[in-house]
Copies of this chain bind each other. A is one copy, B any other.
Amino acid sequence: MSQENNNIIRIAVDAMGGDFAPEYPVLGAIQAAQENKGIEVILVGPGKEINELIAKQNVSLSNLKVVNADEWVTMEDSPAEVFKAKPNSSLNVALKMQREKEADALVSAGNTGAVLSHSTLRLGRIQGIGRATIGAELPSIKGSTLVFDVGTTVDCRPNHLVEYAIMGSIFSKNIYKKDNPKVGLLSIGEEKTKGNELTLSAFEMLEKAPINFVGNVEGGDILRGTVDVVICDGFVGNILLKMAESVLDLFRYKMKEYSEKGFFQKIWAGMMRGTLRKILKKFDYQEQGGTPLLGVNGISIIGHGKSTPYAIKVMIFRAEEVSRLKINNKIELALKENKLINK
């Protein structure tokens, strides 16, 4: 990682975010604090319970702190209502710390809609950004493809797609070290004339944006890795992401079905399992280190509800990287160059 500054980066972890909270967030935070002395990890949530979990691990880390919060957002809470209903939630307390400069970033594997709404309300948006965006890293032949947006805004306007493209391009360049990342607009044909009303308008604007826009790409180009960044409406992106997540379920089912055909098939399927797990690892979203929420005036890394301790650790390191590389400053600068948005 290139470190553009050497300050300690303070990362607030929502200890009550995710299906296995507080255990997995606490374990992930401990691993991160152990491995990386350039960060301070702040676990936000019910103090007693968190301290007991830390005590069980028999560690004493000077860069691991606990901040108490007695409420928390559940997966069932409505993102629109919970902000007011639970002002002392671990998520809200963690974000207040960031707004008050007591933390540099947030990591949460909790209710995605709530992390989005709380982050937008607490941190505000970067100047020039109309809509924040959540991206996802999908596996591809070339390694991975970043897709923006995967569910933040369902009825996008063309300028939102241009914002996503600029932010996604900067993210790809800085975090994935892609030199001049290729950006494609998701559509139903390569030709400029193919698409729906939204993409046809966005195409014109993307051609003039300060990015390496290569034109339309199709559904098959994501897994094939034709481009580094794929831009789409949040409705399409969310459906695509959930479909990609389900590929592994179908595959596991088919393997199970095969193994139940007989004794030989059972042994054989068992033998193949380990290799296939390695090959299909990139499809396992529980192991992935969170998706960035770009466009807010701060740092929020959002993880899968089923995030493992390893995934939480990776999210914490990702938060550090986004902070050190000053991604938000770079986005702000690029927006100023793009006269279409920043009138």
Chain B, residue nearest A154 (CB): B196
B240 touching A239, Cβ below 8 Å: yes
List chain B residues, Cβ under 8 A from A240: 219, 239-240, 243
For the complex formed, measure the closest distance between the CB of A255 and the CB atoms of chain B, giving whole angstroms.
Answer: 7
A239 touching B242, Cβ below 8 Å: no
| Interface SS, A side | helix
User: A238 within 8 Å of B by Cβ?
Assistant: yes
For the complex formed, measure the closest distance between the CB of A233 and the CB atoms of chain B, giving whole angstroms.
Answer: 8
User: A245 within 8 Å of B by Cβ?
Assistant: yes
User: A235 within 8 Å of B by Cβ?
Assistant: yes
A218 touching B247, Cβ below 8 Å: no
User: Count of A residues near B, CB < 8 Å?
Assistant: 49
B242 touching A141, Cβ below 8 Å: no
In the complex, identify which listed stretch (A30-38, A39-47, A271-279, A315-323) lies at the interface while the others stay far away: A271-279
Instruction: Indicate with 1 or 0, residue by residue over A43-55, a CB within 8 angstroms of chain B CB atoms.
Output: 0000000000000
A188 touching B279, Cβ below 8 Å: no
Which residues 242-257 in A have Cβ within 8 Å of B in the complex?
242-247, 249-251, 253-255
B242 touching A219, Cβ below 8 Å: yes
B235 touching A219, Cβ below 8 Å: no
Contact of A223 (CB < 8 Å), options: B219, B250, B275? B250
Q: Which residues of A contact B (CB under 8 A)?
A: 139-141, 151, 154-155, 186-188, 195-197, 218-224, 232-236, 238-247, 249-251, 253-255, 258, 268-269, 272, 275-276, 278-280
> Can you list 26 residue pairs at the A/B interface with Cβ under 8 Å?
A141-B253, A151-B188, A154-B188, A155-B197, A188-B235, A188-B239, A195-B235, A218-B238, A218-B239, A219-B239, A219-B240, A219-B245, A220-B242, A220-B243, A222-B246, A223-B243, A224-B250, A232-B239, A235-B236, A240-B243, A243-B243, A251-B280, A258-B275, A269-B275, A272-B272, A272-B275
